[in-house]
Amino acid sequence: MKGNRAGADDAPENRCERSVKENKMKSNIFHKTIVAAALGVAFIAPVHAAPNPHQHQQASAVKYRPDVTFTLRTDIADGKLVFIGETGAIKGKVNPQLNVAEGAVVQINLVNGDGAIHDISVKDFDAKSDQVTAKGASTTIVFRANKKGEFTYICTLPGHVAAGMIGKIVVGDVQKAQAPKAAEVSQNPLNVGQAVGKRGPQKLTVNLETTEVVGQLMDGSTYKYWTFNNKVPGPFLRVRVGDTVTVNMANAKDSKMIHSVDFHAVTGPGGGAAVTQAAPGTEKSFTFKAINPGLYVYHCATPMVAQHISNGMYGMILVEPEGGLPMVDREFYVMQGELYTAQRHGTAGENEFSLEKLLDEKPEHMTFNGTHDALTKTHRMEAKVGETVRIFFGVGGPNATSSFHVIGEVFDRVYNLGDLTSPPLQNVQTTSVPPGGATMVEFKVEVPGRYILVDHALSRLEKGLAGILHVTGPENPEIFHSATKADPNSGH
Q: Where on the chain is the footprint of Cu ion (CB under 5 A)?
A: 259, 300, 302, 308, 313
| Neighbour count for residue 115 (Cβ, 10 Å) | 14
Task: Check: CB of residue 452 under 8 Å from CB of residue 466.
Answer: yes
Rounded Cα distance, 380 and 389, in Å: 14
Smallest gap from residue 310 Cβ to Cu ion (A) = 10
How far apart CA 212 and CA 23 sit, in angstroms, is 48
Give the nearest distance from C-beta 224 to Cu ion in angstroms: 13
Q: Which is nearer to Cu ion, 249 or 414 (CB)?
A: 249
Helix, strand, or coil here: 24? helix
- The nearer residue to Cu ion, 240 or 259, going by C-beta atoms, is 259
Q: How far is the CB of 308 from Cu ion (least distance, A)?
A: 3
Residue 457's SS3 state is coil
3-class SS at 43? helix
Least separation in angstroms between residue 301's CB and Cu ion is 8
**Interior/surface letters 124-142, b for 16+ CB within 10 angstroms, e for the rest:** bbbbbbbbbeeeebebbbb
Cβ-Cβ contacts under 8 Å for 261 (sequence gap 6 or more): 208, 210, 228, 247, 249, 271, 272, 273, 276, 298, 299, 300, 301
**Closest residue to Cu ion: CB criterion:** 300
Cβ nearer to Cu ion, comparing 83 with 296: 296
Report the residue number, 72 or 313, with the smaller CB distance to Cu ion.
313
CB of 351 to Cu ion, least distance (A): 19
Of the two residues 43 and 263, which places its CB atom closer to Cu ion in the complex? 263
Sign for the CA dihedral angle at 56, 58, 63, 66 comes to: negative
- Residue 250, CA distances (Å) to 119, 229, 278, 284, 286 in order: 56, 10, 7, 6, 12
Nearest distance, CB of residue 257 and Cu ion, angstroms: 6
How many whole angstroms separate alpha carbon 151 and alpha carbon 122?
8
In terms of CB distance, is 259 or 390 closer to Cu ion? 259
Name 407's bridge partners.
Answer: 452
Query: Smaller CB distance to Cu ion: residue 297 or 471?
Result: 297
Residue 338 C-beta: closest distance to Cu ion, Å:
16
Q: How far is the CB of 210 from Cu ion (least distance, A)?
A: 6
